[in-house]
Structure 1
Amino acid sequence: MNSAPSITIQRFKKIREEQHYTQSEFAKILGIKGSTADIERGKTKISGQVVAKLLAEFKINPLWLFGESTQKTIEVNSSDVAPKVVTIDTEEQENMVLVNTKAAAGYPQNIQDVSWYQQLPAFAIPLPEYRNASYRGFQVEGDSMLPVLEPKEWVIGKAIGNLNEINSNAIYVVVLQDSVMVKKIKKTLTPIGTSDDASISLISINKEYAPYTIHTNQIQELWEVNSKLSFNVDAKGESADLKQLQDAMALLASEVRSLKK
């Protein structure tokens, strides 16, 4: 005897029915071969590509789809690269949210879901370098930015509101529709497609990685890296690395408060 469909399958089917698509029509929109019948029967899992398509085409909040949020849709504005969510402390000062490599995998899909951010650690650093702007910490993944940035180091980025603010000499955390990466950016002279389709090149410092070009409307957020935090990271695992960062930042905040007194 088959069990009842999961909440994810129920909601997936509901989206299709609300849009008045057949299983074949819906599959074509989502880039699935054949139809969505196997997904609706629970035989095939919903892929990350399908989740991204549901967000792009119908503004479906991934957390709602998986039963972890009551917020069904979120707005996607390709011309806005400013932070979509910021958090504040009890004194109404903006926090610096920390996004490790594990959290970064879900960051693009949950970029506007307030409840998702509540799972992430956040700090307020009382230093003048981190005032009058929004800052966020990201953990570096991979070796594409060697020798400047080591894998698992942390970078702190200042929020960028407009693509016109891009500095070719700076390093950025680039939040795309399906990934988070750390790269240098170069504006290209020749647009892709029409004149409205501007493009940029994402450049790695490690020469083993070739530059590649993307549409600017693929960018959800931009953070200009202005500092980094380095630790002697070994094979302790992500949770230990994050705990080490939390302890270090808490100590820094404590020392700064002591100096002020």
Structure 2
Amino acid sequence: MENELTLKRFVDIRRNLGYTQVEFAKVLDIRNTTADIERGRTKLSGKVVAELLKQFKINPLWLFGESEMQYLEPSKTSVIPKVVTVDSSDNENMVLVNAKAAAGYPQNIQDTSWYKQLPAFDLPLPEFRNATYRGFQVEGDSMLPNLKPGEWVLAKAVEDIAHVSPNKIYVIVLEDAVLVKKIEKAPNSNNVTLISLNDSYPPYRIEPQQIQEIWQVNSKITFGVDATTEKGLLRQLQESMEELKNQFNHGKS
């Protein structure tokens, strides 16, 4: 049985649209009437929720009381990862996008076969298990002193642009570039401002529609000179992760 708030919101949608229970059932391709749903006798199916989103832009999270935003704009930017890769045990692994690969990343962002050319790493830490992570190599000096050219950042997927914080660093995948920046969103405005830590680079505005993915940086790794090959890179990443794992386990004991 749905909770009372969900049922109330479902009824409000129907009434605000001016439909009777029979008419609304026909619109949503439900047999006979919506009366049983509104009384809590019949579960609100995923198919009905999908129709409400498709036809009336109703936000499913709002319907279930987890958001105050009732409508999803047709042009709403989706910043969730377009492709997720898994290892042989069906665990998500972390794809590593070096500076050279980043040049082609925006154009190949939905091409599953393209990701196969990139090294992928199975993270041994439980903290990395319940989310999607990706590694990106820092290019240029716009984020000095925090991030140096050639360093790597490990970043967690962001599901919605509304979740970004002005105090964090992000990897932003645009239509034609992969950038590491801070993000500021002006109140009551759609505009997004990308900010470098290096004062030599002025902030600049972009529209949310230009963003394909957002990843929140939560750690960085500096590799030695022998990490130029894929094998060297993965070995050093493995060593860095084992070191983190040991630190984590030592902290728990």
Normalised to the residue count of structure 2, the TM-score between the two structures is 0.63
- The question of 1:186 aligning with 2:178 is answered no
Amino acid at match of 1:200: V
Change (3 A) 1:189 1:251: closer
Q: CA contact under 8 A between 2:92 and 2:129: conserved in structure 1? A: no
Q: How does 1:72-221 map to 2 (within 5 A)?
A: 79-189=77-187, 191=189, 198-221=190-213
| Deviation (angstroms), 1:247 | 1.3
Distance 1:241 1:189 in 2: 45
Amino acid at match of 1:218: Q
| Deviation (angstroms), 1:190 | 6.5
Larger Rg: 2
The answer for the alignment partner of 1:44 in structure 2 is none
Deviation readout 1:33-76 (Å, 9 max, x if unpaired)? xxxxxxxxxxxxxxxxxxxxxxxxxxxxxxxxxxxxxxxxxxxx
Q: CA contact under 8 A between 1:78 and 1:218: conserved in structure 2? A: no
- The question of 1:228 aligning with 2:216 is answered no
The answer for the alignment partner of 2:232 in structure 1 is 244
Amino acid at match of 1:210: P
| Deviation (angstroms), 1:246 | 1.2
Distance 2:158 2:202 in 1: 25
Distance 1:141 1:89 in 2: 28
Q: What percent of counterpart residues are identical?
A: 55
Distance 1:241 1:202 in 2: 32
| Deviation (angstroms), 1:126 | 1.3
Structure 2 residue runs without a partner (length 5+): 1-74
Amino acid at match of 1:213: R
Secondary structure at the counterpart of residue 112 of structure 1: coil
| Deviation (angstroms), 1:149 | 0.1
Q: CA contact under 8 A between 2:172 and 2:181: conserved in structure 1? A: yes
Distance 1:98 1:240 in 2: 13
Q: What is the RMSD computed on CA atoms of the aligned residues?
A: 2.3
Distance 1:199 1:101 in 2: 27
Amino acid at match of 1:147: P
Distance 2:144 2:240 in 1: 27
Normalised to the residue count of structure 1, the TM-score between the two structures is 0.62
Distance 2:172 2:207 in 1: 12
Secondary structure at the counterpart of residue 215 of structure 2: strand
Q: CA contact under 8 A between 1:136 and 1:157: conserved in structure 2? A: yes
Secondary structure at the counterpart of residue 81 of structure 2: coil
Instruction: Point out 4+ residue stretches in structure 1 off by more than 6 angstroms.
Output: none
Q: CA contact under 8 A between 1:144 and 1:204: conserved in structure 2? A: yes
| Deviation (angstroms), 1:243 | 4.0
Structure 1 residue runs without a partner (length 5+): 1-76, 192-197
Distance 1:183 1:79 in 2: 18
Distance 2:170 2:94 in 1: 16
Distance 1:254 1:151 in 2: 24
The answer for the alignment partner of 1:15 in structure 2 is none
Distance 2:123 2:187 in 1: 39
